[in-house]
Amino acid sequence: MPENLSIFKTPESQARYMAAYDAVLALWPVPYESFDIPTRFGKTHIIASGPKGAPPLVLLHATSASSTMWFPNIADLSREYRVYALDVIGDAGKSVVSYPPQNKSDYALWLTDVFNELNITQADVVGASYGGWVTLNLALYSQERVKKIVLISPPAAFAPFNKMYISRIVPSMLLPIRPFIINSIRPLFVKRPNETYLEQLVLAATCKFKLVFPTEFTDDELQQIKTPALLLIGEKEVIFSAQKAIDRATRLMPNIQAEIIPDAGHIPSMDRHEMVNERILKFLNKNFHASELQK
C-alpha cells in the first residue's frame, strides 16, 4: 500500500488550508455529517446533509473549490434529497489520494467505489466546472449508476479553452503568490466571492494537484451519453465560449437541455445561487421525455 501522496507542499500550508476549509464549513447553513470512505484511489472526504431516507444527490466541485463551495446551495438542495458533497480525489480538500487517477474513465471507477461504499445504486449528480467534466465521465462509463446529471460550466467538455484566460492564469501557475492567484480567480465570478471562501481558494491554488487535465469529449462519446442532462453556463463565462458549448452539447447529446444563467460567471451556482438552485430542483423533480428535452 503506497504512502498518501500529499497535495500540500508543507505541513504548515496544509494546516493553513484546513483551517480555511473549516472556516467556510462554518457557513454551512444546515446540519451535516462529515466523514471519510475508502476507494481504490485513496480516502474520499464527504459532507452529507438532508434526510437519510431521501433520494441521493451527489455534488462534485470545481477545481480548487472543494465541497465547501456548495454552502450557498445546500439548504435548498438538501430539503428533499440526501446530499453528498464530495472532495474530488487528487484535488484540494480533505480527500487523501493514494493512487492518482490516470485517465477519464478512472473518475467513473472512483465514483463507483464511492457509490458502493454509500450503498447507492443510482443517484442524481451535479457537477460544477471540473466536477461537471467528472460527471460526464461517470455518465459515459457507468451510465447505469446515474439517474440525471446537472453540468455547471464544465471546462473543455464541449468547447476548447479560451486562450486569453489561459494566458491570464499562467503567472499564478509559475509563481503562486497572492496577487497573481487573485488575478486568476477574479474573472471567474461576477460577484466577489465571500471573503472567507476566497481565502480558501487562494490557499488551494498553492497545492500540487493530482488530477487528469480536462479534455474535450469526442462527438461519439457525447452521442453515447443518454442520461437526462441539464447544462447551465453563466452569461459571462470566461474559460470557454458558452454559446459554442451549448450548440455542440444540444446537437450531440440526445437528452440534454441547456440554459444561459444571466449575470453569472464561471461559477453560476455561487453568483446566482437562488436561480441555479431553482433550475436544478425543477429539472431533478420533473419526469422528462426525450422529446421535451429538445424543446
Residues marked active site are found at 266
Contact 45, 95 (CB under 8 A): yes
Contact 184, 163 (CB under 8 A): no
Contact 42, 99 (CB under 8 A): yes
Residue type, 159: A
How, if at all, do strands 56-60 and 42-49 pair? unpaired
Stated as kind and residue range, the H or E segment containing 171 is helix 163-174
Cell of 241: 465560449
- How many C-beta atoms surround the C-beta of residue 86 within 10 A? 28
Contact 132, 188 (CB under 8 A): no
* First-to-last C-alpha distance (Å) of the chain: 51
Identify the bridge partners of residue 152 per DSSP, sorted by sequence position. Answer: 128, 232
Q: What sign results for the dihedral spanned by CA atoms 23, 24, 28, 32? A: negative
Contact 8, 14 (CB under 8 A): yes
C-alpha–C-alpha distance, residues 33 and 237, integer Å: 33
Q: Give how far Cα 49 sits from Cα of 33, 70, 75, 261, Å.
A: 7, 11, 9, 26
